[in-house]
Amino acid sequence: MDEGSTDTPQGVGHGGREVGHVPVLLKEAIDFLAIRRGGTYIDATVGLGGHSYEIARRLGAAGHLIGLDKDPAALNVARARLVVGRSSLVVGEQQTDWPEITLLHRSFAEIANDQRPTTVDGILADLGVSSLQFGDPARGFSFQADGPLDMRMNPQAELTAEQVVNQVDEVTLANLIYEFGEERRSRRIARAIVRSRPIRTTAQLADVISAAARPMKHERIHPATRTFQALRIFVNRELDDLRALLSAAPRLLRPGGRVVIISFHSLEDRIVKDAFRDGVKQGHYRLLTKKPVTATDEEVDRNPRSRSAKLRVAERI
């Protein structure tokens, strides 16, 4: 199921961050990581720290948890949860048993730059957008509330969605909407965007798209959903970064180490599936999930955003 096909327009990945912070597929991810006390683990998308906290609880003082995120605001929340506030969060455990925590402001595409080969026991990546980003109109990820056309996960990055919408030529714009949004009406939408320039806000863009692309029969999502997804993926280089992470993972993992990826739309899942399959052919991996693991009915009831989540796991040979 694609990211836009949940009842929450545009879907939300990265742990399905709702009020109270509900990490998606938490038990499944932790179980598949098979965390070794004293090991080294990388949470490539630390977000608000939900998965990381559960990893840290199991590592012990000799362990090392490395958390990465593009978003400095998310890192601040994670730091409060994992480092500053750990004494109040750890109930019935000795604070002295808490592992070393390293939090890094960077994309997981750079993961190979920070770690020596065959030194990691597990890698977790929970892809997508957090509610910290999605729920803030000033970040420009959503058309549910009007805001600037930004969409940068890293506010320090140069390229914004506004620049793409207003400066990219019509053919290129149509192609990226088709490729990253899997939007069949991409040419019509791109033409309408170019004719409506300048477009400055999320609401203005959503109105332009809605006027150009009437809902298709049986379509359950807003007409702008796929275009917003496409712009976000393009602005943040999400698929290129994912490929870089998957390329680095076999070099970083120790034998028996595991890589766990949670994706939220078909483009991501296809990349993960193909990378794991190629890794098996090359003798790097054995697959632990022949089919993706999905959320239970109970989890979907608690957290509707988990509906589109797919978890895949490979183990280093």
pLDDT tens by residue, 266-285:
999 999 999 999 999 999 99
Please tell me whether residues 175 and 299 are part of one structural domain.
no
Asked if the model's pLDDT at residue 260 lies above 60, the reply is yes
Please tell me whether residues 214 and 243 are part of one structural domain.
no
Question: Mean pLDDT, to the nearest integer, of 50-64?
Answer: 96
**Residue 257 region by backbone torsions, left for phi larger than 0, else alpha for psi between -120 and 50, else beta:** beta
Please tell me whether residues 20 and 70 are part of one structural domain.
yes
Across 32-174, the runs of DSSP E, i.e. the strands, are 40-43, 64-69, 100-105, 120-126
Question: Does a structural domain hold residue 181?
Answer: yes
Number of domains composing the chain: 2
Q: What is the CATH number of the domain that holds 57?
A: 3.40.50.150
Q: What is the pLDDT confidence band of residue 182, given thresholds at 50, 70 and 90? A: very high
Mean model confidence pLDDT for the chain = 90
Task: Read off the pLDDT of residues 111-121 as tens digits, 9 standing for 90 and up.
Answer: 988 789 999 99
For residue 113, what pLDDT is reported?
86
For residue 8, what pLDDT is reported?
31
Question: Does a structural domain hold residue 153?
Answer: no
Whether residue 64 contacts residue 100, with contact meaning beta carbons closer than 8 Å, is answered with yes
* Residue at a domain's end among 184, 200, 235: 235
Nearest to residue 197, comparing CAs of 163, 171, 229?
163
Q: What is the pLDDT confidence band of residue 131, given thresholds at 50, 70 and 90? A: confident
Question: Does a structural domain hold residue 138?
Answer: no
Whether residue 295 contacts residue 307, with contact meaning beta carbons closer than 8 Å, is answered with yes
Domain ranges, residue 166: 158-235
Share of the chain above pLDDT 70, in %: 89
* Residue at a domain's end among 207, 235, 263: 235
For residue 107, what pLDDT is reported?
96
* Residue at a domain's end among 188, 204, 235: 235
Question: Does a structural domain hold residue 152?
Answer: no
Cis peptide preceding 72, ω within 30 of 0: no
